[in-house]
Amino acid sequence: MLISISKLFFLSVIHFIVKCYETSFFLQVHIYGPFSQEPVKTFTRFKDTAYSGRFRSDGQLLVAGCEDSVVRLFDVSGRVALRMFKGHTKAVHFTDFTSDHYQIMTASDDYTCRVWDIPNATAVTTYKEHTDYTRCGVTSKLNRDLFITGSYDHKMKLFDARLDKSVLTMDHGQPVERLLLYPSEALLVSAGGRYVKVWDLLKGGQPLVSLKNHHKTVTCLHLGSNGQRLLSASLDRHVKVYNTSNYKVVHNFDYAASILSLAVAPNDKSIVVGMTNGVLSVKHKKSPEESGESSRQTRRQPSYRVFVKGKNYVPKQDDFLVSKPVKQHLAKYDKQLRKFNVSQALDTALETWFRHKKPEIPVAVIKELDRRGTLKNALAGRDEQGLSRLLNFLIGNLTDTRFTPVLVTAAEMIFEIYHSVIGQSSVVDRHLQRLQDLLEREIDYQQDLVEVLGMLDTLFASSVSRKEVPSSGMSRTNGLA
């Protein structure tokens, strides 16, 4: 399975989100874009299988373990390893940065866990208390000296780098596959076998909850919704979502193969799963306009008089109908136009329901913005997703004769604004190429039509017979009056 990262980018500027999909079983480390879902960065300096790629909290460095027991540190902007940490004798399955950014914690199949100094590339502390493979761990974000490791000997140990031995030991009862700390770091979650267990660290590692909702080994844990949801993934192809207040399952995702890695983007925008069949699955959360589309189509409830008089009631001749003045409600995009929020008005008009059901509304808003002279301001400053939505609308409606004069003006402005960022986003480049091909085909069609019209005019002119109209005042013999 390939490493991936949730990554947002706006055309030329790339922002890294510090969420890395923790397991990789390949000779390369890939970084994917969230919308294009294509690799935008690849690290290939591995001689054997790579494991556990992690970003530092500032997004500048990436560390990964390897089957050859060497830990490699990369600069995100480059490709060559900045540091190589050598000391383990077997595969390193877990790596992570400490909270001070200057040290790395690693766990290996040689039963040891180590703390490394990044500037000197040397091991600061080495612990060998586990009696089996050490495959997982977690570092404290509040204290740089604290970290916890989990091993196949069923034990979890809390270490303080200032001491030469562990300060707390907990027994999971199964080989430990994954560990997770709550943001407050008072609770620890462990996964191993079919069980997910929650431990209270403030009470000396007292077990609080034991969950058994999977049918096979649990391989991944993750927190979502700002700590209000706990996600667990398993080899049984399921992702369970728990409510952290009562630890009941509130949702379930089913996948095609056993799951090896799991990650959730900030604000729960995406959930990414890596499976044993080599597939990386990315599911995006529906946008507010898509989720609200069904609510607009809900059936309107009958009015009060339908219930009282009946649906087929007909007023009598002597009845008086008292009508109330109907208040005119402005649409959301009209309200935004009145407030001169031109970009928001165009975004509202380009919502899914308007684009597919009433394309004349986005065209009318574009025409009004052009009339006001603010169309260029509304089109500029868009991210990849917003620009892709606008280009999709232009491609689908540009050839409609009702909309062509308005949309051609918008297309020209888009090319003028965004020509400098071509080549920085594969999604935008693909849409711009489709739009250019569409315009070229339409111009060819117009030229062919002009040629056909010229031919038809010639044929019509030659088919009309010429009639000689004699003048009453002219002589037929000599043409004199």
Domain ranges across the chain: 9-284, 332-452
pLDDT bucket at 463, cuts 50 / 70 / 90: confident
CATH of 332-452, one of 1.10.540, 1.25.40, 1.10.3470, 3.30.1450: 1.25.40
Query: How large a percentage of the chain has pLDDT more than 90?
Result: 41
- 456 vs 5: which has the higher pLDDT: 456
Residue 87 has a pLDDT of 93
pTM given for the model: 0.58
CB 9 within 8 A of CB 245: no
For range 377-391, the mean pLDDT = 88
pLDDT bucket at 5, cuts 50 / 70 / 90: very low
pLDDT bucket at 467, cuts 50 / 70 / 90: low
**Average pLDDT along the chain:** 83
For range 394-413, the mean pLDDT = 88
Query: Does 469 have pLDDT greater than 70?
Result: no
Residue 172 has a pLDDT of 95
Query: Does 476 have pLDDT greater than 60?
Result: no
Query: Does 219 have pLDDT greater than 70?
Result: yes
Query: Does 319 have pLDDT greater than 90?
Result: no
pLDDT bucket at 311, cuts 50 / 70 / 90: low
Residue 71 has a pLDDT of 93
CB 191 within 8 A of CB 221: yes
Residue 431 has a pLDDT of 87
Residue 212 has a pLDDT of 93
Query: Does 19 have pLDDT greater than 50?
Result: no
SS3 289: helix
Residue 40 has a pLDDT of 76
Query: Does 283 have pLDDT greater than 80?
Result: yes
Residue 133 has a pLDDT of 94
pLDDT bucket at 79, cuts 50 / 70 / 90: confident
Residues 9-284: name the CATH superfamily: YVTN repeat-like/Quinoprotein amine dehydrogenase (2.130.10.10)
Q: How far apart are CA 168 and CA 159, in angstroms?
A: 7
Query: How large a percentage of the chain has pLDDT more than 70?
Result: 84
> Rounded to an integer, what is the distance from CA 295 to the centroid of its chain?
24
C-alpha torsion sign, points 423, 427, 428, 433 = positive
Residue 405 has a pLDDT of 87
Write the secondary structure of 15-45 as one string of H (helix), E (strand) and C (coil).
Answer: EEEEEECCCCCECCEEEECCCCCCEEEEECC
Q: Check if 9-284 and 332-452 are the same fold.
A: no
SS3 245: coil
Residue 50 has a pLDDT of 87
Q: Which of 120-129, 219-228, 291-300 is predicted with the least confidence, judged by mean pLDDT?
A: 291-300
Strand 113-117: give its sheet, edge to edge.
92-97, 103-108, 113-117, 122-127
Q: Which of 153-162, 282-291, 403-412 is predicted with the least confidence, judged by mean pLDDT?
A: 282-291
Residue 308 has a pLDDT of 59
Task: Name the H helices within 262-418.
Answer: 288-291, 293-296, 304-309, 332-338, 342-349, 352-357, 360-372, 375-379, 384-397, 404-418
Q: For the residues of 387-446, what is the DSSP string, one character each? A: HHHHHHHHHHHTT-TTTHHHHHHHHHHHHHHHGGGTTS-HHHHHHHHHHHHHHHHHHHHH
Helix 384-397, helix 404-418: angle, nearest 10: 150
Q: How far apart are CA 226 and CA 205, in angstroms?
A: 23
